[in-house]
């Protein structure tokens, strides 16, 4: 006998539910929850993380992120304008820069710039914040440049033509007409770039840190070494989430709103 399409679907779905529930029950029975909780979220250790995780680690993560983003945004804007320029060497330079820095892992770029340059030239980074933020900004600039370029290209061509027909120069039209509209379009993706940057700051500690320049990830890792317990990393992860989730939600909300606003 043959079953209808709907009956077959119902059977498959029922099977998937049954398998999922069985797996969950097995996990609940097999795992030693007490031991797990003790290793990942021990309340005494959680409390010990405060207030330093906020006053030092979170503060440093925010500083690295803001420096990196400010630098990356300025550089990204410049690169995007060069990428769209009529001058071939500018276009070529921007395209190469973007390709190269997006093609190398951030960790490698950090090590090359943070360690390699001082070894090669004898020049020393003036302070650890600059040593960490500058490579971060240089890489963020490459990613942000592509976002900004997409934004500029999304502004209708007629806007530039209308501006030029009123006697504005190309650069004035860019500055007063095109770029303000481009930024409205790219606020949601830029917010997502910002979130990526928050997480990327966790790599900066490979350049070596002092007690005062610890970021969230390194703070958690040091805590693990001190306590022989994974709780400090879990707490650090939660602090990251407290930063990133509201921002991604904000970006999603702005994106929905701008979609609804477009008639």
Partner 1 sequence: MDGTAFEGRPALSEPLVRIEALHKRFGSNHVLCGIDLYVTRGEVVCIIGPSGSGKSTLLRCVNMLETPSDGRVFVDGIELTDPDCDLDRARTSTGMVFQSFNLFAHMSVLDNITIALRKVLRQDRSAAEAKAQKLLTRVGLAEKATAYPAQLSGGQQQRVAIARALAMEPKVMLFDEATSALDPELVGDVLRVMRELAEEGMTMLVVTHEMDFARGVADRVVFMDSGAVVEEGHPDQVIGNPREERTKRFLANVRKRD
Measured distance CA(236)–CA(228) in Å, rounded: 16
**89 vs 158, beta carbon nearer partner 1:** 158
Q: How many CB atoms lie within 10 A of CB 132?
A: 29
How many residues contact partner 1, by CB under 8 A?
19
Measured distance CA(77)–CA(55) in Å, rounded: 32
Q: How far is CA 19 from CA 5, 13, 22, 111, 185, in A?
A: 21, 10, 5, 47, 44
> Which among 84, 103, 92 has a CA at the least distance from the CA of 150?
84
188 and 252 Cβ atoms separated by less than 8 Å: yes
Give burial (CB, 10 Å; 0-12/13-18/19+) of 93.
Answer: middle
Q: Taking the complex as a whole, how short is the minimal distance between the CB of residue 174 and partner 1, in angstroms?
A: 12
Q: Using the rule CB under 8 A, is 42 a contact of partner 1?
A: no
Q: Using the rule CB under 8 A, is 176 a contact of partner 1?
A: yes
Q: Using the rule CB under 8 A, is 164 a contact of partner 1?
A: yes
Q: Taking the complex as a whole, how short is the minimal distance between the CB of residue 167 and partner 1, in angstroms?
A: 4
Segment interacting with partner 1, rule: CB under 8 A, options 13-21, 99-107, 172-180, 249-257:
172-180
Q: Using the rule CB under 8 A, is 152 a contact of partner 1?
A: no
When binding is defined by CB under 8 A, the residue of 85, 159, 229, 244 that contacts partner 1 is 159
Q: Using the rule CB under 8 A, is 192 a contact of partner 1?
A: no
Measured distance CA(65)–CA(72) in Å, rounded: 10
Chain-centroid distance of CA 51 in Å reads 25
Q: Using the rule CB under 8 A, is 177 a contact of partner 1?
A: yes
State which H helix or E strand residue 162 sits in: helix 157-165
**51 vs 261, beta carbon nearer partner 1:** 261
Q: Using the rule CB under 8 A, is 172 a contact of partner 1?
A: yes
**128 vs 188, beta carbon nearer partner 1:** 188
Q: Using the rule CB under 8 A, is 169 a contact of partner 1?
A: yes
> Which among 91, 227, 70 has a CA at the least distance from the CA of 133?
70
Q: Taking the complex as a whole, how short is the minimal distance between the CB of residue 181 and partner 1, in angstroms?
A: 5
When binding is defined by CB under 8 A, the residue of 79, 137, 163, 216 that contacts partner 1 is 163
Q: How many CB atoms lie within 10 A of CB 167?
A: 8
When binding is defined by CB under 8 A, the residue of 14, 116, 180, 246 that contacts partner 1 is 180
Give burial (CB, 10 Å; 0-12/13-18/19+) of 164.
Answer: middle
Q: Taking the complex as a whole, how short is the minimal distance between the CB of residue 191 and partner 1, in angstroms?
A: 19
Q: Using the rule CB under 8 A, is 156 a contact of partner 1?
A: yes
Residues contributing to the site for partner 1 (CB under 8 A)? 156, 158-159, 161-169, 172, 176-177, 180-181, 184, 263
């Amino acid at each position: 006998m043959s079953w209808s399409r709907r009956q077959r679907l119902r059977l498959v779905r029922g099977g998937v539910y049954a398998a999922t529930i069985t797996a969950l029950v097995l996990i609940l029975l097999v795992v030693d929850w007490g031991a797990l909780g003790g290793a990942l979220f021990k309340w005494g250790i959680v409390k010990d993380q405060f207030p330093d995780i906020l006053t030092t680690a979170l503060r440093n993560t925010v500083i690295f992120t803001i420096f990196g983003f400010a630098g990356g945004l300025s550089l990204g804007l410049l690169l995007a304008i060069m990428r769209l320029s009529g001058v071939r060497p500018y276009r070529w330079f921007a395209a190469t820069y973007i390709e190269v820095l997006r093609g190398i892992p951030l960790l490698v770029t950090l090590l090359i710039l943070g360690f390699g340059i001082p070894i090669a030239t004898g020049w020393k980074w003036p302070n650890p914040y600059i040593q960490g933020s500058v490579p971060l900004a240089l890489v963020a600039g490459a990613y942000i440049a592509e976002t900004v370029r997409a934004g500029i290209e999304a502004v209708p061509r007629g806007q530039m033509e209308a501006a030029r027909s009123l006697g504005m120069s190309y650069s004035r039209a860019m500055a007063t007409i095109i770029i303000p509209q481009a930024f409205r379009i790219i606020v949601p993706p830029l917010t997502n770039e910002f979130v990526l940057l928050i997480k990327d700051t966790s790599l900066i500690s490979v350049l070596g840190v002092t007690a005062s320049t610890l970021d969230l990830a390194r703070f958690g890792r040091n805590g693990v070494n001190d306590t022989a317990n994974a709780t400090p990393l879990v707490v650090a992860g939660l602090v990251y989430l407290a930063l990133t989730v509201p921002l991604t939600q904000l970006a999603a909300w702005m994106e929905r709103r701008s979609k609804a606003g477009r008639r």
